[in-house]
């Protein structure tokens, strides 16, 4: 997918003024409440988080060995592993497999790696017909839009938008059919997509985990679409990035207990499907070919850097759902596949800080993302790393750069800082005494554009703190 992360400020401004989008974003509140209630029922939650972190850390520290072990196990089960350094390589591999299979139609389960690769565009250009089968992905594919959320891709749309989309694309159906009820929309999509499952020659899915001990891929779904995509067509292609590996089924179980609860507030997703190789001589169903496309795309370069922790991410989207910035602007404003705090850290790693420099700055540093992250990823710390790199590479606009320099000058001279802060507070207090606040302040237009700056009430925090300690 083509990145427009450099447009974040303009995108965000547009999103804030979009009343319809602001309405659909409101549903995230319900997810947060349900999630908290589900987690409260599992007293072992924090122990599981620690164990999950340890599993991923162990795997990453031995990633070369686990990759080789995994590949050997896939091969032993009759499947093949295809290594891809870049999205372009991965797209070429998928296209070649489809062509060799004489495929025309491809049933796709939801895959963020597929989004990252821009796979659909590529397949269409190659004369193939990829059909997204997850309801949310299907809707946005019809609309030609990228997902706005990594778990709920059509979060930005209302039921009325979806009805309009179906009316304009399902031209073979009666135009006057009623589509007001959710059930009518679902039934229509179900019957359309059933044809895709049954007629596709190739099924493509992502993977939530790759299991090294047996060479298995594991996906979780609620709709059952990924499961049909990988069992009905003749060929199954799994798209996965390097960090999806876990050593054993026991290790997967630890993280599975975190994933659904954290993502959708469910005790478990409806389906968790594990595939090991193609159909065997004795099997009565399943694909004849099983391929795994293993994508690096910048991840191996994150190992051993301050961004290594990000490779523990399981794409549950809890950080998006709890982020005040994501909740205000939605996913499209971030301008690439991964939005929210996890995107603010990952996107610069994958597309470059020059393109995505705004994203690590799109944070209020409230720390909720790290607090809720089931894999205990220190997201704010990594956003700060990006900000430091941005500063030291001389990127970003001049005003904040000079602002930071000016602030650093005072901050490293505590006496001067206190004196200046006291003087500024006194002056602002006097100036704003009458109205109790400021509508506008020089150099702070971004802040005062949407709210008033309250006038300082008197003495500084330093002064009060010193007094109370006595």
| Nearer CB in complex with other proteins: 269/347 | 269
Q: How far apart are CA 47 and CA 260, in angstroms?
A: 17
Sole window of 264-272, 384-392, 411-419, 428-436 interacting with other proteins (rule: CB under 8 A): 264-272
| 41, 43, 45, 47 alpha-carbon torsion, rounded to 10° | -170
Among 74, 98, 210, 254, binds other proteins (CB under 8 A): 254
Q: How far apart, in Å, are the Cα atoms of 48 and each of 32, 42, 246, 267?
A: 20, 10, 15, 14
Q: How far apart are CA 76 and CA 63, in angstroms?
A: 20
HSE (side-chain half, CA atoms, 13 Å) at 295: 27
31 binds other proteins (CB under 8 A): yes
Query: Within 81-100, which residues bind other proteins (CB under 8 A)?
Result: 82-85, 89, 93
E strands of 76-154, at which residues? Answer: 80-84, 105-108, 129-132
Among 5, 39, 74, 185, binds other proteins (CB under 8 A): 185
Query: Within 267-306, which residues bind other proteins (CB under 8 A)?
Result: 267-280, 282-286, 294, 296, 300-301, 303-305
User: DSSP labels for 51-64?
Assistant: HHHHHHHHHHHTHH
| Nearer CB in complex with other proteins: 218/359 | 218
65 binds other proteins (CB under 8 A): yes
Query: Within 377-416, which residues bind other proteins (CB under 8 A)?
Result: none
Among 176, 183, 399, 457, binds other proteins (CB under 8 A): 183
| Nearer CB in complex with other proteins: 116/251 | 251
| Nearer CB in complex with other proteins: 8/290 | 290
Pairing state between β 129-132 and 80-84: unpaired
139 binds other proteins (CB under 8 A): yes
| Residue 293, H or E segment | strand 289-295
214 binds other proteins (CB under 8 A): yes
Least spacing, CB of residue 81 vs other proteins, in Å: 8
Least spacing, CB of residue 195 vs other proteins, in Å: 9
372 binds other proteins (CB under 8 A): no
Q: Within 10 Å of residue 43's Cβ, how many Cβ atoms?
A: 8
| Nearer CB in complex with other proteins: 52/101 | 52
Query: How many H-runs (helices) and E-runs (strands) does the chain carry?
Result: 23, 12
Q: How far apart are CA 70 and CA 80, in angstroms?
A: 11
311 binds other proteins (CB under 8 A): no
Sole window of 147-155, 356-364, 398-406, 417-425 interacting with other proteins (rule: CB under 8 A): 147-155
24 binds other proteins (CB under 8 A): yes
Residues pairing with 210 in the sheet: 217, 245
Please answer whether residues 203 and 229 qualify as being in contact, where contact means their C-beta atoms are separated by less than 8 angstroms. Answer: yes
| 361, 362, 366, 371 alpha-carbon torsion, rounded to 10° | -100
Among 153, 331, 339, 343, binds other proteins (CB under 8 A): 153
| Residue 419, H or E segment | helix 414-432
Q: Per the structure block, which two tokens stand in for 225?
A: 């679409």
| Nearer CB in complex with other proteins: 4/62 | 62
How many of the chain's residues bind other proteins (CB under 8 A)?
100
Q: Per the structure block, which two tokens stand in for 135?
A: 């309801």
User: DSSP labels for 448-460?
Assistant: HTTSPEEPP-SS-
Pairing state between β 105-108 and 453-454: unpaired
262 binds other proteins (CB under 8 A): no
Sole window of 79-87, 343-351, 356-364, 422-430 interacting with other proteins (rule: CB under 8 A): 79-87
Sole window of 39-47, 371-379, 412-420, 444-452 interacting with other proteins (rule: CB under 8 A): 39-47
225 binds other proteins (CB under 8 A): yes
Query: What does R_g of the chain's alpha carbons equal in angstroms?
Result: 25
Least spacing, CB of residue 270 vs other proteins, in Å: 5
361 binds other proteins (CB under 8 A): no
Least spacing, CB of residue 430 vs other proteins, in Å: 50
Among 122, 257, 368, 387, binds other proteins (CB under 8 A): 257
User: DSSP labels for 177-192?
Assistant: ----SHHHHHHHHHHH
**162 burial via Cβ count (<10 Å: 0-12, 13-18, 19+):** buried
Q: Per the structure block, which two tokens stand in for 264?
A: 């959708």
Among 3, 16, 51, 328, binds other proteins (CB under 8 A): 51
DSSP state letter for 277: S
Least spacing, CB of residue 134 vs other proteins, in Å: 7
Least spacing, CB of residue 193 vs other proteins, in Å: 6
Please answer whether residues 13 and 365 qualify as being in contact, where contact means their C-beta atoms are separated by less than 8 angstroms. Answer: no
Least spacing, CB of residue 415 vs other proteins, in Å: 45
Query: Within 234-253, which residues bind other proteins (CB under 8 A)?
Result: 242, 247-251, 253
Sole window of 8-16, 111-119, 215-223, 423-431 interacting with other proteins (rule: CB under 8 A): 215-223
């Amino acid at each position: 997918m083509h990145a427009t992360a450099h447009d974040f400020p303009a995108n965000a401004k547009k999103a804030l003024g979009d009343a319809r989008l602001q309405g659909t974003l409101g549903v995230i509140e319900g997810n947060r409440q349900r999630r908290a209630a589900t987690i409260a029922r599992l007293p072992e939650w924090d122990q599981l988080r620690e164990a999950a972190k340890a599993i991923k850390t162990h795997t990453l520290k031995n990633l070369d060995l686990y990759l080789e072990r995994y590949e050997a196990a896939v091969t032993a089960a009759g499947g093949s592993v295809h290594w891809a350094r870049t999205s372009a390589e991965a797209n070429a591999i998928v296209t070649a497999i489809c062509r060799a299979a004489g495929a025309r139609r491809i049933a796709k389960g939801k895959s963020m790696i597929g989004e990252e690769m821009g796979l659909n565009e590529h397949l269409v250009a190659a004369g193939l017909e990829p059909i997204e089968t997850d309801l949310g992905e299907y809707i946005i594919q019809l609309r030609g839009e990228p997902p706005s959320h990594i778990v709920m891709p059509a979060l930005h749309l209302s039921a009325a938008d979806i009805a309009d989309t179906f009316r304009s694309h399902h031209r073979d159906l009666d135009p006057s059919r009623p589509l007001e009820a959710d059930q009518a929309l679902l039934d229509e999509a179900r019957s359309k997509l059933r044809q895709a499952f049954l007629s596709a020659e190739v099924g493509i899915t992502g993977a939530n985990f790759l299991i090294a001990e047996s060479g298995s891929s594991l996906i979780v779904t609620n709709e059952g679409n990924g499961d049909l995509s990988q069992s009905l067509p003749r060929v199954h292609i799994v798209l996965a990035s390097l960090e999806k590996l876990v050593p054993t089924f026991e290790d997967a179980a630890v993280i599975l207990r975190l994933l659904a609860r954290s993502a959708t507030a469910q005790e478990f997703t409806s389906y968790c499907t594990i595939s090991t190789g193609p159909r065997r001589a004795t099997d009565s169903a399943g694909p004849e070919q099983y391929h795994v496309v293993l994508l690096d795309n910048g991840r191996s370069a994150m190992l051993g850097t301050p961004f290594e922790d990000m490779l523990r991410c399981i794409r549950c989207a809890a950080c998006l759902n709890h982020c005040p910035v994501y909740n205000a602007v939605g996913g499209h404003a971030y301008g690439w596949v991964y939005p929210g705090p996890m995107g603010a850290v990952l996107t610069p790693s994958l597309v470059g800080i020059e393109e995505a420099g705004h994203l690590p700055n799109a944070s209020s540093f409230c720390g909720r993302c790290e607090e809720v992250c089931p894999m205990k990823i220190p997201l704010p710390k990594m956003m700060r790393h990006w900000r430091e790199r941005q500063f030291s590479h001389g990127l970003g606009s001049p005003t904040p750069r000079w602002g930071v320099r000016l602030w650093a000058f005072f901050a490293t001279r505590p006496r001067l800082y206190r004196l200046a802060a006291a003087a500024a507070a006194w002056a602002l207090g006097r100036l704003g005494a009458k109205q109790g606040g400021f509508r506008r302040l020089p150099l702070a237009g971004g802040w005062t554009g949407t709210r008033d700056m309250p006038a300082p009430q008197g003495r500084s925090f330093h002064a009060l703190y010193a007094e109370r300690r006595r």
